[in-house]
Amino acid sequence: MLNVGKIEEGFVLDHIQAGKSLSIYHHLQLDQLDCTVAIIKNARSNKMGKKDILKVECDIDMLDLDVLAFIDHNITVNVIQDGEIVDKKELILPQEIRNIIKCRNPRCITSIEQELPHIFVLTDPKKEIYRCKYCEEKYGERI
């Protein structure tokens, strides 16, 4: 397996579904941060066959990881300090997601109002249903 060095402080996001690492890179807005990121694609995994891994060297309170739960809550988040895993973060579904997904309802006000944030609210935690704050359309209803 490709060898990527240890990180001193930051996160290792493990068990990412193979091929999804780049979209997570964007959702976490890592492109806007000035930090070292390693993207490992198609690593071998006993559990999953293939998986992706993201290693991010950054201050540990720099990233908002709640959104990961929305994208895929099988991801394991290892918190690294002084080169060691100090914590495994449990992912909780965020109450609200801002500007991560877009409302696809063509009749929604988000389709015309300038600079309106796209906000989705967790309306049913059991069924993991998010609805647009404005038009209440269920996320995933239209692809």
Partner 1 sequence: MRHLMNPLDFTVEELNQLFDLANDIEKNPEKYAHICAGKKLATCFYEPSTRTRLSFETAMYNLGGTVLGFSDAASSSASKGESVSDTIRIISCYADICAMRHPKEGAPMVAAGKSRIPVINAGDGGHQHPTQTLTDLLTIRSLKGRLSDFTIGLCGDLKFGRTVHSLINALARYENIRFVFISPPELKVPDYITEMLKEKGIAYEEVIRLEDCIAKLDLLYMTRVQRERFFNEEDYVRLKDFYILDKSKMNLAGKDMLVLHPLPRVNEISVEVDTDERAAYFKQVQYGVYVRMALILTLLELAC
Contact residues for partner 1 (CB under 8 A)?
105, 107-114, 116, 132-137
Dist CA 79 CA 56 (whole Å) = 10
Dist CA 9 CA 7 (whole Å) = 6
- Nearest to Zn ion of 50, 102 (CB atom): 102
- Nearest to partner 1 of 53, 103 (CB atom): 103
- Sheet containing 49-57, strands listed edge to edge, beginning at the edge strand earlier in sequence: 36-45, 49-57, 10-17, 76-81, 84-89
> Which of 12, 54, 68, 103 contacts Zn ion by CB under 5 A?
103
How far apart are CB 71 and partner 1 at their closest, in Å? 24
113 binds, among partner 1, Zn ion, none (CB under 5 to 8 A by kind): partner 1
Tell me which residues in 107-136 interact with Zn ion (CB under 5 A). 108, 132, 134-135
How far apart are CB 72 and partner 1 at their closest, in Å? 26
Q: Is 52 helix (H, G, I), strand (E, B) or coil?
A: strand
- Nearest to partner 1 of 27, 133 (CB atom): 133
- Residue 105 in contact with Zn ion, rule: CB under 5 A: yes
**C-alpha dihedral sign at 81, 29, 13, 41:** negative
Dist CA 11 CA 121 (whole Å) = 27
How far apart are CB 135 and partner 1 at their closest, in Å? 4
Dist CA 68 CA 24 (whole Å) = 8
